[in-house]
């Protein structure tokens, strides 16, 4: 029943990878071990989630599969679904009690896995599932930073609109804006400016986004940031002036 192949996968795991609900049910009724793991530490549930088989997932959960089990790298079923862009599997796993913000051995969450590959539907599903937008890896990276580095403006906009903290820094002191600046992401820099990001943040060497853009030859971005800073200073001065009461007349 639980015979293993060269990768230590059982018939139940193979059925889960195919999404064969009838075969899964039959194997479970015959006593297949729903908790068994293959050479990489994956359970049948993880295999089903990785392939996006949403009909198979509830069957395995009902049979007692641990929705928060981890493989040898610390990945959960949700991380596999997110990494492969299987957005439909995310709410099913969520309903089954999965920990949305669990981290793997590197400190990555399911949201970061989806962001790493630019799976916008999976990102949206995880946001709806209350994923923490501001979790950071051991090196300080956020999902937003992953998307900036990958150059995916739609995902960046979605994360900003959902409330991602644009001021967080990684271990080098870079914010997402700084990354966008030195990577030459003009559209993203514009999105950050519109979101009201702090333009005065500096990295571990005291450089702000404008300085980094100029250093790497992105003069248009440097000018955008310079103009945004000047505009902000003008607005603050006008607000301050408006707040000062007029002197009483003699």
Residue 22: give its domain's CATH number. 1.25.40.20
Helix (H) or strand (E) holding 217: none
- Output the pLDDT for position 19: 96
Same domain, 57 and 127: yes
Same domain, 219 and 126: no
pLDDT of residue 108 exceeding 90, the answer is yes
Same domain, 195 and 82: no
Q: What's the CA gap between 109 and 28, in Å, rounded? A: 30
Whether 164 contacts 158, CB under 8 Å: no
Cα Rg of the chain (Å, integer): 24
Establish if 248 belongs to a structural domain: no
**Sign of dihedral through CA atoms 124, 126, 130, 136?**
negative
Same domain, 87 and 154: no
pTM for the model: 0.87
Establish if 249 belongs to a structural domain: no
The confidence band for 247, taking pLDDT boundaries of 50, 70 and 90, is: low
- Output the pLDDT for position 235: 75
Task: Report phi then psi at 232, rounded to 5.
Answer: -65, -40
Mean pLDDT, range 201-223, rounded to an integer: 95
- Output the pLDDT for position 123: 95
Whether 192 contacts 176, CB under 8 Å: yes
Same domain, 125 and 175: no
Mean pLDDT, range 195-223, rounded to an integer: 95
- Output the pLDDT for position 7: 78
Same domain, 218 and 187: yes
Whether 184 contacts 221, CB under 8 Å: yes
Other CB atoms within 10 A of residue 115 CB? 32
Same domain, 109 and 156: no
Tokens of 163: 């409330």
Q: What's the CA gap between 192 and 195, in Å, rounded? A: 5
Same domain, 230 and 169: yes
Establish if 237 belongs to a structural domain: yes
- Output the pLDDT for position 203: 94
Q: What is the pLDDT of residues 19-29, one digit of tens each?
A: 999 999 999 99
Buried b / exposed e along 157-166 (16+ C-beta atoms within 10 A):
bbbbebebeb
Same domain, 229 and 194: yes
Q: How many domains does the chain have?
A: 2
Establish if 21 belongs to a structural domain: yes
Same domain, 113 and 155: no
Q: What's the CA gap between 214 and 133, in Å, rounded? A: 30
The confidence band for 248, taking pLDDT boundaries of 50, 70 and 90, is: low
What's the mean pLDDT when you consider all of the chain? 93
Q: What is the pLDDT of residues 35-72, one digit of tens each?
A: 999 999 999 999 999 999 999 999 999 999 999 999 99
- Output the pLDDT for position 3: 78
> What percent of the chain is predicted at pLDDT more than 70?
95
Domain that holds residue 229: 141-242
Final residue belonging to a domain, choices 75, 105, 132: 132
At how many degrees (to 10) do helices 44-51 and 11-18 cross?
20
- Output the pLDDT for position 201: 93
């Amino acid at each position: 029943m639980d015979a293993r192949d060269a990768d230590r996968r059982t018939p139940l795991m193979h059925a889960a990878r195919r999404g064969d609900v009838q075969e899964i049910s039959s194997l479970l009724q015959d006593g297949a071990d729903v908790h068994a793991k293959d050479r990489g530490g994956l359970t049948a549930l993880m295999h089903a989630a990785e392939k996006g088989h949403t009909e198979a997932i509830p069957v395995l959960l009902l049979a007692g599969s641990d929705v928060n089990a981890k493989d040898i790298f610390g990945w959960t079923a949700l991380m596999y679904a997110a990494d492969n862009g299987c957005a439909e599997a995310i709410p099913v796993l969520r309903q089954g009690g999965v920990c949305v913000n669990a981290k793997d051995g590197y400190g990555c969450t399911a949201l970061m896995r989806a962001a790493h590959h630019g799976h916008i539907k999976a990102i949206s599903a995880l946001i709806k599932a209350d994923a923490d937008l501001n979790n950071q890896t051991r090196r300080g990276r956020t999902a937003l930073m992953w998307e900036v580095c990958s150059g995916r403006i739609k995902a960046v906009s979605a994360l900003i609109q959902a409330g991602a903290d644009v001021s967080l820094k990684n271990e080098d002191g870079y914010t997402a804006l700084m990354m966008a600046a030195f990577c030459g992401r003009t559209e993203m820099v514009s999105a950050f400016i519109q979101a009201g990001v702090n333009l005065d943040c500096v990295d571990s060497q005291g450089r702000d986004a404008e300085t980094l853009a100029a250093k790497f030859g992105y003069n248009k971005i440097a000018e955008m940031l310079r103009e945004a800073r000047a505009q902000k200073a003008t607005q603050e001065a006008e607000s301050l002036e408006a707040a000062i009461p007029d002197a009483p007349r003699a």
